[in-house]
Amino acid sequence: MKNQFLTLLTLLLVFPACFAQQPKKPNASEIHESIKKLNFLGSVLYLAAHPDDENTRIISYMANEVKARTAYLSLTRGDGGQNLIGPEIRELLGVIRTEELLAARRTDGGEQFFTRANDFGYSKHPDETLAIWNKEDVLSDVVLAIRRFQPDVIINRFDHRSPGTTHGHHTSSAMLSVEAFDLTNDASKYPEQLNATTTWQPKRMFFNASYWFYGSQEKFDAADKSNMLSIDTGVYFPSSGLSNTEISSLSRSQHKSQGFGNTGTRGSSLEYIELIKGDMPKNANSVFDGIDTSWNRVKNGKAIGKLITEIEKEYDFKNPSASLPKLVKAYTLIQQLEDSHWKSIKTEDIKNVISACAGLYLEASAQHNWATINEDVNLTIEVINRSASNITLQSIVNPNNVSISKNINLENNTKFSFNEHYVIDSKAETTTPYWLTEQGSLGMYKVEDESLIGSPETPRSQNVTFNLVIENTTIPFTKPIVYKTNDPVKGEVYMPFEIVPIVASQLAEPVVIFENNTPKQVAVVVTAGKDNVEGTVSLNTPKGWTISPKSLAVSIGHRGETKTVLFTVTPPSSQSEVKITATVTVNGTTYSKGLNEIDYDHIPFQTVVMPQPSKFVRLDIIKKGENIGYIQGAGDVVPESLRQIGYHVAIISPDDITPANLKHFDAIVVGIRAYNTVDDLAYKQNVLFDFVKEGGNLIVQYNTNHRLKVDNLAPYKLQLSRDRVTDENAKVTFLDPKNDVLNVPNKITEADFEGWTQERGLYFPDAWGKEFTPVLGMHDKNETEKQGSLLVAKYGKGHYIYTGLSFFREFPAGVSGAYRLFANMLSIGKEDINTEPKLNK
Ligand SMILES: [Zn+2]
């Protein structure tokens, strides 16, 4: 079943974000726009790599001005980025960004699709991207999306001809799109897809050119545009009082986790699209030139087109229900179509128009926003017809497919409300994003049910169908069950109705680090989905590790309640990295998935139930120097990570950077991008340099050379660049093998650079004074060696270290080698406070 939530979305022109969870209630102008859209049978697919890549001006223009079915295929869900609104990263961030794209499409009128490709982080080149993604699988998903959506026109955001000039995911998206264009109509390609789809040939493909692909506006103005169409996306819609460019900004502003709030513009706004495949439109104003976008493209469609044209012309803005007789007639004709593609699309669309014209409100709401299997759910059903039309509620069909006869004559503006209950099927699936139920790889999500591939969300399983007789024709309207409540501040709040497991559990910390043999207590959080849950909690015990006790009883009285139990974990005596999962056994059934809530105002509330093992790391580490001062920059978890391995870390504000304060510290660490974000550091450099001169260690993590607040980043010449090594497995060579940071107190070897995550590092310096010693060399494929990732200089009696290595990413991932190397950086020059002889000189 196609996600019905989505088909509803295609209907509306503009919908304010704060009502994202509420049912749509289109007004007379919006209904009229939807009727016009019923008469257009053309489709545009916009294609790129990430949430936020899409050009919402074009999507909104195609959906609202051209009235085409318009969709955005984002190859990934954007898990690899940063989250500006909350703590979620990786998979949970991907869920938020999925919902933000859906919120954007609710605003601009498009639909949304994905592939199984995982946003694994920055990549410089499509070669790297396509090696980490399973290229064949992602290509197959692009072909599938095209065969299902059947676009006449595809518009790529990126240029397939310029690998290496932008994110590797970007170029890959365009390359796969170009490749798919020639495969989708070939029945020998991915034949298994043809059980549920048909072959399809898009008519043309464009690249959405922009000045930033040309280097500057001047260069783009001067470029040859004979192979380009220009589209004025600045059109004004009197029906909504908005310019298209204002709608596109509202849409773009849904990317709140990325801080992409956008201010609308008004007036003409040209977009250029360059023809990549197919023939150039003769009419320079239409991407659909030469394509029949009327009902004539469908067998027996002509009469429907004629009818809808009449409905559009005769539409009464004061009484939309006057259109009902002809709308129902058109609905009946659509049911007789042989073309299943347009039949299913236009059926959903015209049902939405019929419902809106009749002022229907159909709702099934539950007492809670979740339930568990076998639970008896009490539903409140509300049905109202707000038109003079003769409408009967014939029956309702509950989620277990049981039809309940009603035969209620729905008199104009008379509300009918009644209760129904049903027991949730014992085989009903937990409500959770389908792409997270199994653990995937770095580059790909694992999806067992192939019919779900490409869908933005898991289709809702708990729905109620209302069979209404309108104008002597039975029309079924299916609605997902909702939960609604009143919030004293927000007012009416709607939430989706979900099925949760009877019990969920997860370790409180995703990563636990042991710096020595000392046992640690770890907490397991257990959440009950129903009342009176009695179970036993246990942890898997990896070889060499000891966990006590073996199991713990847990008893939870009320649904939604959480209890915490504590285990003592003793690590082995040598270095070890393991995964530990908490399991709860209730009545012989084991539950081992964690439960997470995504709760933000701009997207629907939802739970994510997924495998959630924690990483346990026994480090083999020696530390010297205990007291660390940390100057925070753009925000990172390095201080917490250092505390986990036993350092005393004090956060020092710029005001506290005084000689008297600094002398208590063995080392000062500067947080990521501090010299880009903290103005006051401009006046503190000399204090920090004097601290080094007197014997302290100063470790500065990466900054960008854009908007640096200081002229002198280091006591010696140091020039930042954009050099980065994005391959987290790039080979690391020791340029100065005898250097203390590689030997004291921990002997660093190649093994310490195994298991790094996302990248090696970024914004490395590319020129430095002779006082600096470059310690490590590394490079991405087909690039020259970068030597600026770790630079050490003696200054006075102390040491200044500049490093672009991504410790801020490696620490929270529990990467042992990163901890050991950082301990050496903190220890450098501290051998005299220890009695051990120095190993290398
Ligand atoms: Zn992107």
Tell me the pLDDT tens digit for each residue of 52-79.
999 999 999 999 999 999 999 999 999 9
CA 158 to ligand 1 centroid distance, Å: 10
Q: HSE on the CB side for 61, CA within 13 Å? A: 20
CA 131 to ligand 1 centroid distance, Å: 18
How far is it, in rounded angstroms, from Cα 110 to Cα 8?
A: 11
- Stated as kind and residue range, the H or E segment containing 83 is none
CA 677 to ligand 1 centroid distance, Å: 24
Q: Look up residue 782 and give its two tokens.
A: 């087909």
E-only strand ranges, 529-613:
533-539, 546-548, 551-556, 562-570, 576-580, 582-586, 589-591, 593-598, 606-611
Question: End-to-end alpha-carbon separation of the chain, Å?
Answer: 71
Amino acid at position 136, single letter: E
Phi-psi region of 407 (alpha: psi -120 to 50; beta: other; left: phi over 0): left
CA 172 to ligand 1 centroid distance, Å: 11
CA 49 to ligand 1 centroid distance, Å: 6
CA 85 to ligand 1 centroid distance, Å: 19
- The CB-based long-range contact list for 361-366 (8 Å cut-off, 24+ gap) reads 361/23, 361/25, 361/386, 362/466, 362/477, 362/479, 363/23, 363/479, 363/482, 364/396, 364/420, 364/464, 364/479, 364/481, 364/482, 365/481, 365/482, 365/483, 365/484, 365/497, 366/481, 366/482, 366/483, 366/497
CA 156 to ligand 1 centroid distance, Å: 12
CA 25 to ligand 1 centroid distance, Å: 34
CA 313 to ligand 1 centroid distance, Å: 43
CA 110 to ligand 1 centroid distance, Å: 19
Tell me the pLDDT tens digit for each residue of 798-832.
999 999 999 999 999 999 999 999 999 999 988 65
The predicted pLDDT at position 14 comes to 35
Mean per-residue pLDDT over the chain, rounded? 93
The predicted pLDDT at position 284 comes to 77
The predicted pLDDT at position 832 comes to 54
User: SS3 breakdown of the chain: % helix, strand, coil, rounded to 5?
Assistant: 25, 30, 45
In angstroms, what is the C-alpha Rg of the chain?
30
CA 81 to ligand 1 centroid distance, Å: 10
What is the sign, positive or negative, of the torsion defined by CA atoms of 572, 573, 578, 579?
positive
How far is it, in rounded angstroms, from Cα 154 to Cα 288?
A: 11
3-state secondary structure of 236: strand
CA 168 to ligand 1 centroid distance, Å: 9
CA 194 to ligand 1 centroid distance, Å: 31
CA 522 to ligand 1 centroid distance, Å: 38
How far is it, in rounded angstroms, from Cα 715 to Cα 795?
A: 8
CA 167 to ligand 1 centroid distance, Å: 7
CA 94 to ligand 1 centroid distance, Å: 13
CA 431 to ligand 1 centroid distance, Å: 29
The set of residues, in sequence order, having a beta carbon less than 8 Å from that of 653 and lying 6+ positions away, is: none
CA 756 to ligand 1 centroid distance, Å: 23
CA 272 to ligand 1 centroid distance, Å: 19
The set of residues, in sequence order, having a beta carbon less than 8 Å from that of 656 and lying 6+ positions away, is: none
pTM beyond 0.95: the answer is: no
Residues in the chain with pLDDT values less than 70:
1-20, 831-841
CA 53 to ligand 1 centroid distance, Å: 5
The predicted pLDDT at position 831 comes to 65
CA 166 to ligand 1 centroid distance, Å: 9
How far is it, in rounded angstroms, from Cα 127 to Cα 184?
A: 23
How far is it, in rounded angstroms, from Cα 188 to Cα 825?
A: 58
How far is it, in rounded angstroms, from Cα 251 to Cα 673?
A: 30
Phi first, then psi: give them for residue 119, nearest 5 degrees: -75, 95
CA 692 to ligand 1 centroid distance, Å: 41
CA 615 to ligand 1 centroid distance, Å: 30
CA 753 to ligand 1 centroid distance, Å: 28
600 contacts 641 by C-beta, under 8 angstroms: no
DSSP state of 786: B
The set of residues, in sequence order, having a beta carbon less than 8 Å from that of 349 and lying 6+ positions away, is: 7, 10, 11, 34, 37, 38
What is the sign, positive or negative, of the torsion defined by CA atoms of 144, 611, 481, 418?
positive
CA 215 to ligand 1 centroid distance, Å: 18
Q: Look up residue 651 and give its two tokens.
A: 């956060």
CA 625 to ligand 1 centroid distance, Å: 42
Phi first, then psi: give them for residue 583, nearest 5 degrees: -125, 140
CA 423 to ligand 1 centroid distance, Å: 45
The predicted pLDDT at position 15 comes to 35
CA 171 to ligand 1 centroid distance, Å: 10
757 contacts 728 by C-beta, under 8 angstroms: yes
CA 273 to ligand 1 centroid distance, Å: 18
How far is it, in rounded angstroms, from Cα 399 to Cα 401?
A: 5
Strand partners, 520: 569
